[in-house]
Homo-oligomer: A and B are copies of this chain.
């Protein structure tokens, strides 16, 4: 039986693998988990004992097939609950994460599958992140960062990379939301800021903003 802490470590490792290549360092996990490296070493031994990760001292870790499946399952629950909170309980997309962090640990196969059905088998969560299926498969969308679009290119907003409350609130303020059409009207070579059009309104955004918005061309 998995403890909450073990589940959180698995999820952290999964997320790190998602954005980097090769073995995952103790320090990387410590940073992601907001703990100390020594705590990570302890946990990593336990997870390795349970064959959820491959672990070679000093060499980093990697999820096993079983570990990957478990992590995907936690993420599946997290994201389905986020959909539930937004679609059924009128939460805004910047309010859901903390509650989902709790709900993702609820153990009940039936619960999560019924929830999935109740929500109409959603493919993405409120931030545009894909929802793994029961087998842990995640659809791979060909989304690109808004920052990669050049002058004149168009797309539809499908996700955000940064899901922090402050960033999401900024997007709300600018009325930038998932599903909206966006066009790059101009791009400033000096700082890569761009002038965009959304909702028939035109305004400037910095590269930092553009680097955290996914669009489908």
Contacts and interface: CB of A to CB of B under 8 A. Distances in A.
Contact of A102 (B85, B95, B98, B107): B107
Contact of A114 (B91, B108, B114): B91
A110 B91 contact: yes
Contact of A99 (B98, B108, B118): B108
A88 interface: yes
Interface residues of A, number: 18
A103 interface: yes
Q: Which 6 A-B pairs have the closest CB atoms?
A: A89-B114, A99-B108, A102-B106, A99-B111, A89-B118, A88-B118
Interface in A89-129: 89-91, 95, 98-99, 102-103, 106-108, 110-111, 114-115, 118
Contacts of A114: 89-91
20 contacts: A85-B111, A88-B118, A89-B110, A89-B111, A89-B114, A89-B115, A89-B118, A90-B114, A91-B110, A91-B114, A95-B110, A98-B108, A99-B106, A99-B108, A99-B111, A102-B106, A102-B107, A102-B108, A103-B106, A106-B106
A183 B41 CA distance: 66
Given A88-B118, A90-B114, 12 more contacts: A89-B111, A89-B114, A89-B115, A89-B118, A91-B110, A91-B114, A95-B110, A98-B108, A102-B106, A102-B107, A102-B108, A103-B106
